[in-house]
Structure formats: C-alpha cells, structure tokens
Amino acid sequence: MSLSSREIRLKSRPLGAPTADNFELAEVTVSDPGPGEVQVKNQWMTVDPYMRGRMSDRKSYVPPFQIGEALQGGAIGEVVASNAPGFAPGDTVSSMFGWREAFNAPAAALQKLDTRGLPPQAFLGVAGMTGLTAYVGLIKIAALKPGDVVFVSAAAGAVGSVVCQIAKLHGHTVIGSAGGAEKVAFLKHIGVDAAIDYKAEPDLTAALAKAAPNGIDVYFDNVGGDHLNAALAVANKSARFALCGMISQYNSATGPVGPSNLILAVGKCLRLEGFIVSNHFDLMPDYLDHLAGWIKAGQIKWNESVEDGIERAPAAFLKLFSGENMGKMLVKLG
C-alpha cells in the first residue's frame, strides 16, 4: 500500500539558536514495502536537545543531518504492512525514523514494543532513552553511593525529573534547578528537597550553597555554563559529575564558554565524566525492571508537553531551548 507522508527536512543549518526558518515541511509518497521491509505509520515522535548538535556540520558522536533531507529521531508507530517475519499489522514499534508521518524500513531497524500496559509514548521518555539516560548517568557514571547529596540541572526536564526521582527513591537529598515557578512547583511535586529557580537567582552559586549547606557529592549536568560553575564551587571533595548535556552552550554563535573554576577539580579531586546513552543500552533491561516496580508502586511521575501534528515538530523542538516545555517534549502524529 502506498501512502502519503509529510516530513520535516533541514532547510538550513542554524547559526546560534535555531529558528523556524531552518526547517521545511515536505510531502513524499511512501511506496509499498519491499521484501524484508515493514511499513509503519508513526504515532509519536520525540524532539531532544542533542538533535541540535546534528544540525551543525561538525564531527560528533552521530553524523550531522543533511540539508534537504528528513531529520531523524526516536518515534513510536504502528505497523500497517509487513513483508518481514515477526512484524504484523497492528504491532507497535519503536524506531529512529521520527520527523515523518510514515516510512518503510528493514525489520532490523525496528524494535517491536511490549508496552507492559504503559502508554506507547512513555517509550520515548521515562521508559525509553530518556529514562535510561537518567539511570545510567546517576547509577553508573556518577556512581551514586549512600549519603550523596545530588544536584540536578534542568531538573524539571525529561531527563532531570527522572534523575531527581531515582535519587529520591534511593534515599538521597536532592537539589533541583529549573526556570520559573511552574517548574519549581513540579520539582516540589516530585519530592526534591530543595528547588532553585535559576531565573530568579542573581547568583546561582550562592543559591546552590544555601540549598546545599553541606555541599554536593553528585552533579547531573544537563546545562553546562553557570550551573557547571556553581556545581564546581559547591562540590565536596571527591564529588562526581555526570556530564549528560550542556544545553546552555548549544546555540552560542560566539562559541561556548568553559567553567572558569575548573581548576577546583584538582584540589577537590573531582571526577567529571561525559556519557552518551547509546553506549549503555545493555542496562535497559535492568532499568526497565526497576521502573516497572516504581510505576506499579506509584513512585514515579512524569510530565509530557505535547504538540499536535508533524507541522508542529519544529515548534516543539524550539521550545526545548526557550525552556517552555515541562517534562518530555513530544509530537503526536497518529
């Protein structure tokens, strides 16, 4: 069955902050699936900060997006036709063919999803790469240990809010930073011990020092910039920093700025370690086992911000950088 599918293409590379002009909507015809192929109609797609990196033409851990081609990213869809064993119409599948309404793909590029009773879009968030990112960063990279005081930036975001809750479930004192009263209220709702509204604080280091009078032992960095400076200043000896992202730096046209006090890492014996979740997919079953228990016990909450329709995908993406989203930013396609 051939289908019409709209998709979002990269029209031009952003210089500094991306704008709507960097994207274009196009319509293509998806032909019948070939031998070994599966035809999928997407129901949900995700937009994530890391995609900004792929919009620049530079070497990174994933190749750059190409101008004039559809963007890529996580998506959840329904099989509508299949020429591959193991996939049948009606199956829910996860793929990296986001930013489009429908597509054909070889079976190997798809993952059949057992939703375990969760809404399918949860697998783009708390039960997918987003949640695993939180788990890996906190447990493996930062090597969380009893008594650690944990500081999380972008704490009301998709990753940050899961980090906060996993740390709380492990019995830790958690300090979260987010921008604005609504996000701070959400942080309280998910149980953080202290919430910093960084937009309302003239001196983030002072605010963190006040929120963490005994210092911090773990910093989960989604932001970089001033937050990283503050964390270095307030870190205790032998603190561990999981460097997950530095969204404050992604759109700088004049170039990013490093933490001026990185030298503190020497005397305080700090460990700063970057990671990308795709190196740690082996931990997904372990994470999902834990998550299933937490969800069953009502111990974990998540938030979604949803835009409706493929034509809204660029707007959804741009909201990541203006800080307008709460929790996981998604686009509903189906």
Helices (H), 64-157: 129-135
The answer to whether the beta carbons of residues 260 and 291 sit under 8 Å apart is no
Minimum CB separation of residue 241 from a second copy in Å reads: 9
- In the complex with a second copy, the residue whose CB is nearer, 242 or 313, is 242
Nearest to 194 by CA among 202, 37, 182, 209: 209
Q: Is the dihedral of CA 50, 56, 62, 65 positive or negative?
A: positive
- In the complex with a second copy, the residue whose CB is nearer, 124 or 136, is 136
- In the complex with a second copy, the residue whose CB is nearer, 106 or 274, is 274
Q: Which positions touch a second copy (CB under 8 A)?
A: 53, 60-61, 224, 228, 237, 243-246, 249, 255-276, 279
Minimum CB separation of residue 50 from a second copy in Å reads: 9
Minimum CB separation of residue 263 from a second copy in Å reads: 5
The answer to whether the beta carbons of residues 44 and 334 sit under 8 Å apart is yes
- β-partners of residue 92 are 78
Minimum CB separation of residue 73 from a second copy in Å reads: 16
Query: Measured between alpha carbons, how far is 23 from 6 in angstroms, rounded to an integer?
Result: 13
Q: On the CB side of 132, how many CA atoms lie within 13 Å of its CA?
A: 21
- β-partners of residue 94 are 76, 111
Residues 6+ apart with CB under 8 A from 23: 8, 9, 10, 11, 313, 314, 317
Minimum CB separation of residue 320 from a second copy in Å reads: 16
Interhelix angle 225-234/204-211, nearest 10 degrees: 40
- In the complex with a second copy, the residue whose CB is nearer, 102 or 141, is 141
Minimum CB separation of residue 208 from a second copy in Å reads: 16
